[in-house]
Amino acid sequence: MQECTVPGSPVMSSVMSDAIRTTISDYLARFSANDRDGWLALFTDDATVEDPVGSLVRHGKEQIGAFFDESHAMPTSLELVADGPAIVVGSEAAFRFTIRVNLDGAIFLLSAIDAMTFDDAGRISSQRAYVDHASMAPES
Distance CA 126, CA 124 (A): 6
Q: Which one is catalytic: 18, 35, 37, 51?
A: 51
Instruction: Please answer whether residues 21 and 42 qualify as being in contact, where contact means their C-beta atoms are separated by less than 8 angstroms.
Output: no
C-alpha triplet 137, 102, 109: angle, nearest 5°: 25
The Cβ of residue 101 has, within 10 Å, a number of other Cβ atoms equal to 19
AA letter at 118: F
The answer to whether residue 27 is catalytic is: yes
CB 48 within 8 Å of CB 126: yes
Q: Is 130 a catalytic residue?
A: no
Q: What spatial distance separates the first Cα and last Cα of the chain, rounded to whole Å? A: 41
Among residues 27, 37, 114, 130, the one annotated as catalytic is 27
Catalogue the active-site residues. 27, 51
